Amino acid sequence: MIPPRVRFAPSPTGDLHVGGVRAALFNWLYARRHGGTFVLRVEDTDRERSTPESTALILEGMSWLGMTPDEGPFFQSERGDLYRARLTQLLDMGGAYRCWCTKDDLDAKRAEAERRKSRYGYDGTCRGVTEAPSPGAPFVVRAKLPQDGEVLIDDMVKGRVVLRNDQFDDFILARQDGSPVYNFTVVVDDIDMGITHVVRGDDHLNNTPKQVHLYRLLGADLPRFAHLPMVHGPDGKKLSKRHGAASILAFREMGYLPETMLSFLARLGWSHGDQEEFTVEELQTLFDLDGINPAAAVFDHKKLEWMNGRRMREMSTPELLARARPFIERAQIDPDLPWVPRALEALQPRANTLAALAEGLSLFAGRGPVAYDAKAAAKFLKAESRALLTELAAALEATRPFAAAAIEETVRTFLATRELKMKHIGQPARVALVGGTASPSLFDVMEIFGRDVTLARLRAAAAWSGPEA
Ligand code: GLU
């Protein structure tokens, strides 16, 4: 196989979101799999809607995921000379023509088509016209398309799509101000950059026949096309903010791991047997365009969260600490405090994101008196807890070492001699220690706080609990 040349061609008009990243990923993986080249081209010809901020977000999102382009980023805004040269070439060859129809003329024709309930398409008025109606009259440039016959697209995902040429009108290549339009620049660039496979969202499928005609007019070979199915939410509707975050950097902020994102995004429309999770290396050796499912892919946030948590649970404590460091700092906790690794270990079984992990650490950040959640305190710090908490504190005075296993033994013996169960002391002690009812294992919590804080907090909660009946 000739090494493929593929590209990701985002328009910098907003965030880089899930559908776009998935297109980037499939291109990148295809290039990696077949020893090809991944080109990044920023399609910023729409001056009104393109912003440098958006370009920066796209580049940052890609670099977070490790999708480094082999060539580029190229910017269409810097390639005007090439587009002008190709436009002149098409005009000279008769593949395009100047159109002086005014907006009013066209609006009237469109309104008439609407009135007759027929499809509007440019009627070719200027096809044979070579002279401007008046000197310097503004014009657009239109492609001169065949009016009969068919165009065949042999899509690698959708299969064969045949469209009749009489369904397409002579579309605009350059506006009155000379600025070229997407369907033109995309083809000029794909030809110029030697793109062999155009892999993109199927929202572009209706542009493809126009682009196929331009390849012909420009005398270039067609690339292969692969149009990716849309990404839907679990309700079957197009993925949007309503379904939760859709911008890739929002996932970084929430503490998802880039490797989880890659594995998860790859499975949006692609499969390899029934394997659910992949390392980046596996993706780079297994991915292929023929594994793409033409049906819409479903983005399931819950599954992503679960996958992320699972990956976090596979990490050693030093690795987890290294990955969570920026999140811990953001939670205003010093990651180098001595209790942090032990607390991470305790939180690891339940945290599904790095942000949740850092948030969990805040349970241990304060060592003074703890504020009780009113509801939890009312429910669990009752009169009958008073003696129990005091006696538990006394029993823990002698525990050596003050570590989870020994603490657990002390607590179990304490309960057994009183014929009580864990449920009698679990929640009161938890509220005493962290102020609420959610925390990692009680024994871990005690170990992390150490004896002094543990005893002080148990006793403070005992004092807070109502007097004995
Ligand atoms: N710039 C186009 C977009 O962001 C993509 C063009 C393409 O991939 O052909 O939708």
State the catalytic residues. 241
CB contact at 8 A, 433 and 443: no
| Ligand 1 centroid from CA 200, angstroms | 7
- Range 250-272 average pLDDT: 97
pLDDT of residue 467: 63
- Are 80-228 and 315-365 the same fold in CATH? no
| 465 secondary structure, DSSP code | S
Give the strands of the sheet with 172-174, arranged side by side: 96-99, 140-143, 172-174
Report pLDDT digits (tens) over 385-412: 999 999 999 999 999 999 999 999 999 9
| Ligand 1 centroid from CA 14, angstroms | 13
* Architecture of domain 315-365 in this structure: Orthogonal Bundle (1.10)
Instruction: Tell me the pTM.
Output: 0.92
The CATH number, out of the four listed (3.20.20.70, 1.10.760.10, 1.10.10.350, 2.60.40.10), of the domain defined by the range 374-463: 1.10.10.350
Report pLDDT digits (tens) over 101-150: 999 999 999 999 999 998 889 999 999 998 999 999 999 999 999 989 99
| Ligand 1 centroid from CA 328, angstroms | 38
| Ligand 1 centroid from CA 149, angstroms | 27
CATH class in words for 80-228: alpha beta
In ligand 1, the atom with minimum distance to the C-alpha of 190 is 9
CB contact at 8 A, 330 and 361: no
| Phi then psi dihedrals of residue 6, to 5 deg | -125, 165
* Architecture of domain 1-72+229-314 in this structure: 3-Layer(aba) Sandwich (3.40)
Q: Within its chain, how far is the Cα of 252 from the centroid? A: 9
Q: Omega before 73 cis (within 30°)?
A: yes
Cα Rg for the chain, rounded, in angstroms?
32
CB contact at 8 A, 393 and 458: yes
For residues 111 and 118, give the distance between their C-alpha atoms in angstroms, rounded to a whole number: 10
Closest CA to 410 of 447, 448, 452, 372: 447
Q: Is the CB of 9 under 6 A from ligand 1?
A: yes
Report CA dihedral (135, 140, 141, 142) to the nearest 10 degrees. -130
For residues 7 and 191, give the distance between their C-alpha atoms in angstroms, rounded to a whole number: 12
Q: Say yes or no to pLDDT of 468 above 80.
A: no
Q: Is the CB of 200 under 6 A from ligand 1?
A: yes
Residue having the nearest C-alpha atom to atom 6 of ligand 1 = 9
pLDDT band, very low/low/confident/very high, at 444 (cuts 50, 70, 90): very high
CB contact at 8 A, 9 and 165: no
Burial class of residue 100, CB neighbours in 10 A (0-12, 13-18, 19+): middle
Candidate from 182, 203, 214 with most ligand 1 atoms within 8 A of CB, to mutate? 182
pLDDT band, very low/low/confident/very high, at 289 (cuts 50, 70, 90): very high
Residue at token pair 């929002």: 250
- Range 14-36 average pLDDT: 96
Angle at the Cα of 82 from the Cα atoms of 80 and 87, rounded to 5 degrees:
95
Angle between helices 383-397 and 404-417 (to 10 degrees): 130
Domain edges within the chain: 1-72+229-314, 80-228, 315-365, 374-463
For residues 10 and 76, give the distance between their C-alpha atoms in angstroms, rounded to a whole number: 11
